Amino acid sequence: MTIVAVTLKGLLRDRVLHGILFASLVFLAIPALSTLSMRQVTELSLTLCLSLVSFILLVLAVFLGGVSLWRDVERRYTHSVLTLPHGRTRYLLERFAGTALFLLGTAVFLGILSILVVSLVASNYPPDRPVAWLAVVAALGFDVLKCLLLIAFAVLFSSVSTSFFLPVFGTIAVYLVGGASQQAYDYVLSPVGQTLPPLVRAAAKVLYYVVPNLAAFDLKVNAIYALPLDPGALALTFGYGVLYTAFVLIVAAAVYSRRELG
């Protein structure tokens, strides 16, 4: 059995799926909650669905990504796994792939639920502009890509950490900093930002290029209000996400391959 399969089996054994199913019961309340809006019932249903999916995926990325490697070390499973003819890099990448596959499956399941709920609401309260389903799918897809990047960071932190705290809180910190990096950069470039000391401005610019830019992956506003998508920008964001994730995983593999597993 491959490590990917072991990871997926472990997640099912931990009843993560039960937790997701329980959380997805909230979808049942969304059609009723959406009617609280005065003028944009369908848009509110989309807001609620996409935010709920985003929240569940974020929690999964932080906790599953942060816990999987660390727990193996803690329970000394790693020793037995590494006696198999697998390198540490392969072990780490397959752990990542297993978690990523689980996240992808969850996103597909929650995405289908979202589409069903929004279709139901839209049939009762037709929106001013038709729902842009392509933008909805793109918003879900890029949310998954963002979470894969966060899982990669969680794996990186796990590869150096001996405790549960660094992977989980480190990933949350990356999420917060990554979400605000574009805003901070825009501020530095604004007329008000020009009054900052040159050293601060230079440091902010360097940080902007180092820290992941997670704002690019947020397409909710396009999906909710049927705003047009820019295919060029989407392709760039996709490339950015894949390459950044690959780079973080390479660093994680390099660190993990040299780690003392006493």
Partner 1 sequence: MMRFAVSALCVLAVYLTVLFPFTRSMAQKPYAVKLGIIPHPVALQVLLPDFQELLGARVLGKVIQYYGSLTDDKAVPGKVPLAADYPAMSRTVHAALRLDPYNMDGYYFAQSILVWDVHQYRLATDLLEYGMTYRNWDWYLPFFAGFNYAFFLKDYENAAKMYMRAGELSDAALFKSLAGRYLQEAGETRMAIDYLRTLQSSARNPAVKRSLQVRIDTFEAVLAIEHARDCYLAENQSAPQNIDALIEAGYLADKPVDLYGGEFYFDERGQVRSTSKFAFAGVHRSDVEEKPAPPRGK
| Contacting positions for partner 1 (CB under 8 A) | 36-41, 43-44, 47-48, 50-51, 54-55, 58, 128-129, 143, 176, 179-180, 183, 214-215, 218, 220-221, 224-225, 227
Whichever of 15 and 129 has its CB closer to partner 1, that residue is: 129
Whichever of 5 and 134 has its CB closer to partner 1, that residue is: 134
At closest approach, how far in Å is the CB of 47 from partner 1?
Answer: 5
Whichever of 1 and 38 has its CB closer to partner 1, that residue is: 38
Q: How many CB atoms lie within 10 A of CB 148?
A: 24
At closest approach, how far in Å is the CB of 40 from partner 1?
Answer: 5
At closest approach, how far in Å is the CB of 96 from partner 1?
Answer: 22
At closest approach, how far in Å is the CB of 25 from partner 1?
Answer: 18
Distances (CA, A) of 51 to 19, 59, 231, 257: 17, 12, 23, 37
- Diameter of the chain by CA atoms? 62
Whichever of 39 and 258 has its CB closer to partner 1, that residue is: 39
CB 253 within 8 A of CB 92: yes
At closest approach, how far in Å is the CB of 137 from partner 1?
Answer: 17
Q: Give the C-alpha separation, 128 to 85, whole Å.
A: 59
Whichever of 94 and 143 has its CB closer to partner 1, that residue is: 143
Backbone angles phi, psi at 229, to 5 degrees: -95, 150
Q: Give the C-alpha separation, 154 to 151, whole Å.
A: 5
Residue whose token pair is 């929240």: 55
